[in-house]
Amino acid sequence: MKQQLLSFAFFLITGITFAQPEVYPPHWWAGMKSNFLQIMLHEPGIAKNKPPVSVQYAGIKVSQVHYAENPNYLFIDLLLSPKAQPGTFKITIGNRAIEYTLKPRRPGNGTAFAKGITSSDLVYLIMPDRFSNGDAENDRIPGMRDQSLNRDSIFLRHGGDLQGIINHLDYLHDLGVTALWLTPVFENNMPNRTEHGYAITNHYRIEPRLGNEDLYKKLAYELHRRGMKLVQDAVYNHVGLFHFTVQDKPMHDWLHEWPAYTNTTYKDQSLFDPYAAPSDRTRMSDGWFTPFMPDLNQRNPFVANFLIQHAVYSVEEFGVDGFRIDTYFYNDLEFMNRCNAALLDEYPNLSIFGETWVHGVLNQAYFVRNHLQTPFKSNLPGTTDFQSLFYGIQPALNEKFGWTEGVNRLYQTASNDFVYENPLKLVIFLDNHDLSRFYSVVGEDLNKIKVAFTWLLTWRGIPQMYYGSEILMKGFANPDGWVRLDFPGGWPDDKVNKFVPEGRTPAEQEVFTLIKTLANYRKKSSALTTGKLMHYLPQDGLYVYFRYDDTATVMCIMNTSGQAKTILARQYAERTGAFQTATDVLTGKTLELGKPITVEGMHMLVLELK
């Protein structure tokens, strides 16, 4: 009541009115390392006649006011000194005022949280609409453009949400998952294909069919109290066609626009090819991803500030531990370096990995921290390792062994790791929301999928798995909806429930148990999480590699042939010489290293050396 009386008195004395326009970001924090904050106000005519702007609050100064081409937008640059304390203050704009709040930072000021995703983690990717429906009340939201709800369609909404994920966090924790990556959770108010989340229409609103801001915070809290982490999917390259800055552009160069619609070429090579035509580079970076996803002009400083501040806001507001950057190389790469630097300066332990769906180790290395001598140097710490998938484990399991075929492809790809600054920060995976499910890729061969998961959980880098792979979900990605089916048991009327052992087939339970056993063993194994890698030349389909450090050694024997193979430990004396016995991690059996070790066809052993 006292605050209301003070506001009323202020109105009587000054004649200033209070009406809150759309404000982005909606609040900020005192004590951030960066002292710069650019507030974007959106309201019809807010900048008409270029009203003066002032702030009367200790430690806060208006450094510049930008009156956009579109009078519906006003940009205000604030400088926040260390003296600025948490509190609510007024920004006076002409004859009116709006309220803005500086909040106290999370405890630790960016070091005690935002812990980052490392090679010690196992990341689990979920498309929220397809995992579990925990709240049927938000399946349809009145007023939103997409009112679809049909689980019989692979492209319409199915009703999965954040509450559904929270309901199954114990399942994921039991499986051995330590980090959760969700496809984008921000508003996608598009007419159709809203299930995937990659056409954002408001960065500062959680998609209401998934939940709300409080529920997203609850998800982060529930993860953190279990010792798990949250990865946010960031989309910087584009927005949805119905984003408010597209429907009502702040300025003419907010987007990359062309005389006629121009699609990106999707060809990453033109960005580093010494012979590339400049026009090809421009089309690659500035062309639109699809006609429904306008390309943001990140060379526009207002666009850049909007995106960077939202990323920082997400960490401080929700407790995000890491970012996966969608369509990384389609972004302006200088902007990405600036964005990465801003995040890591504020949150030193935060992890960032980009989606680089490219073909070739050098292609991939160009977009991440590397040892290449190139004019452009990326500061991206990690990336998705499509090379270890396409040119590694896939051919290792599906091709016959040859000089450059079969498992020799995996060996060859690994041998090129010298180009990366830190291969342990590469994210390795078998499939994701854009790719055919690996169980289908290997012809629904149970032995092959078991070898694949054994490799995933013992190889260098950060392992990431896709929801439902542990229960042998299948499907080919043409079209992509077939690899985005519902997790059985995530809806109350599902006939089977794969979240519990009783609902799984013997084959599904076998794979589930393998993953659970290895994932939970991995948590305690320094050799597998942070150790070095040494491998030996593949021979007749047999590939042997070691993960090791000063305290532990794990021997991995992959037999990709159809026949049993027998080896002697002394063949690998550099790593086995000091050991006498080994424990089979998956069975618990003890082996004598002085005796021959037999590995069945299309099988893999993981041995902890003693």
Active site annotation includes 355: yes
pLDDT at 111: 75
* Residue 192 near residue 204, CB atoms below 8 Å: no
3-state helix, strand, coil in the chain (%, to 5): 30, 20, 45
Query: Residue 88 pLDDT > 60, yes or no?
Result: yes
Out of 121, 268, 326, 470, pick the active-site residue.
326
pLDDT at 70: 98
Q: Which CATH number fits domain 530-609: 2.30.130.10, 1.20.810.10, 2.60.40.1180, 3.30.420.10?
A: 2.60.40.1180
> pLDDT category, 294, cuts 50, 70, 90?
very high
pLDDT at 108: 82
Q: Whole-angstrom Cα distance, residue 131 to residue 135?
A: 12
pLDDT at 110: 74
Identical topology for domains 123-523 and 530-609: no
Active site annotation includes 99: no
Q: CA-CA-CA-CA torsion for 179, 180, 186, 189, nearest 10 degrees?
A: 160
Query: Residue 7 pLDDT > 80, yes or no?
Result: no
> pLDDT category, 113, cuts 50, 70, 90?
confident
CATH superfamily of 123-523: Glycosidases (3.20.20.80)
pLDDT at 215: 98
pLDDT at 450: 98
**Digit-coded pLDDT (tens) for 18-41:** 468 999 999 999 999 999 999 999
**H or E element, residue 603:** strand 603-609
Query: Residue 13 pLDDT > 90, yes or no?
Result: no
Whole-model pTM? 0.95
| Helix-helix angle 301-318:213-225, to 10 degrees | 50
Sorted by where each begins, the domain ranges of the chain are 2-103, 123-523, 530-609
Q: Whole-angstrom Cα distance, residue 384 to residue 376?
A: 20
Residue matched to tokens 């550099």? 574
Out of 295, 355, 385, 470, pick the active-site residue.
355
* Class level of CATH domain 2-103: mainly beta
Higher pLDDT, 9 or 599: 599
pLDDT at 19: 60
**Digit-coded pLDDT (tens) for 303-315:** 999 999 999 999 9
> pLDDT category, 569, cuts 50, 70, 90?
very high
CA angle 544, 397, 354 (to 5 degrees): 90
Residue range 478-504: mean pLDDT, rounded:
97
> Residue 601: which residues within 8 A CB-CB, separation 6 or more?
447, 559, 561, 562, 563, 564, 565
**Digit-coded pLDDT (tens) for 494-520:** 999 999 999 999 999 999 999 999 999
Report the mean per-residue pLDDT for the chain: 95
Query: Residue 461 pLDDT > 60, yes or no?
Result: yes
